[in-house]
Structure 1
């Protein structure tokens, strides 16, 4: 298997986003992804074991880049409240700016087989740990209450952002996700803020 770097690898990942968003995961044949990436069908198999591996790699690449951007941004902010606001803003902006990726992550990933979902969950865990760090920092600085379950708070934050994006997609992206940043922040702060 070829190294998972380089122009062809990136072209395949980007093509997979477009093809899966357009046709759905189950109808997105490797040949369609190859054609969209302007590579031969066999080239896909130099980088990926199968279509499931393409989907997992796609999520790993896109989520890994997103997590890195979030961590870099949060490192520049000392207030946990502002960190949380920035995390929400970045999450919504990232998907609002790439409708096809939003469709893949919000709709198509959930229709994949259990083994793929398990691997996606391992990748997602890194993002959830970032949310945990923001919550913990808020508790330590006494900006968030300490008498709540942090796992529940994390699920509330991620779940609210996640459902907001899914609803936006289901309504054909007719409004700006960025208008939801402060309402989501206020909802969280009303629940765990001091």
Structure 2
């Protein structure tokens, strides 16, 4: 198998996003991805074992780059409250900028085989760790309650962002995700009480 870098590899990954977003994962044949990437069908198999491998690689490339960007951005933000704000903003900004990728990550990845979901879970674990660190730093700095269960808070934060993006997709991306940052941050920080 060829090295997973280069113009053709990138073209296949980007074509896979477009094809899967348009046709759905189950209808996105390798031949459609190859045609969209402007490569021969056989070229796909120089880089990927099968369509599942394309999907996992797509998520790894796109999510990996996003997580690296988030880690870098948060390293320049001293306050955990502002880190949380930045995390939410980056999450929404990234997916709002590429609605096709949002469709793939929010809808199509969830319809994949258990083995694919397991691989994706391993990739996602790194992002969840970033959220955990923000929460832990907020507790340590006395900005968040000491009695917060980090895993529960992480599920709440990630789950809320995740559902917000899914709802945005289901509403045909008709409103701004980034307009949701401050209301969501307020809800996370202040809860539902008066």
Partner of 1:67: 67
How far residue 101 of structure 1 moved from its aligned partner, in angstroms, is 0.1
- TM-score of the pair, normalised by structure 2: 0.98
Partner of 2:10: 10
Partner of 2:164: 164
Partner of 2:41: 41
| Aligned-partner Cα distance in 2 for 1:9–1:191 | 45
How far residue 186 of structure 1 moved from its aligned partner, in angstroms, is 0.8
Matches for 1:1-194 after TM superposition, within 5 Å: 1-191=1-191
| Aligned-partner Cα distance in 2 for 1:73–1:161 | 18
SS in 1 for 2:27: coil
Aligned length: 192
SS in 2 for 1:173: coil
| Aligned-partner Cα distance in 2 for 1:5–1:191 | 45
SS in 2 for 1:26: helix
How far residue 187 of structure 1 moved from its aligned partner, in angstroms, is 1.0
1:32-85: CA deviation from partner (whole Å, max 9, x where unpaired): 000000000000000000000000000000000000000010000000000000
The alignment's C-alpha RMSD in Å is 0.9
| Aligned-partner Cα distance in 1 for 2:21–2:69 | 23
How far residue 152 of structure 1 moved from its aligned partner, in angstroms, is 0.2
| Aligned-partner Cα distance in 1 for 2:36–2:146 | 50
| Aligned-partner Cα distance in 2 for 1:87–1:163 | 15
TM superposition outliers: structure 1 runs of 4+ over 3 Å: none
Structure 1 unpaired stretches of 5+: none
| Aligned-partner Cα distance in 2 for 1:187–1:119 | 32
How far residue 190 of structure 1 moved from its aligned partner, in angstroms, is 1.4
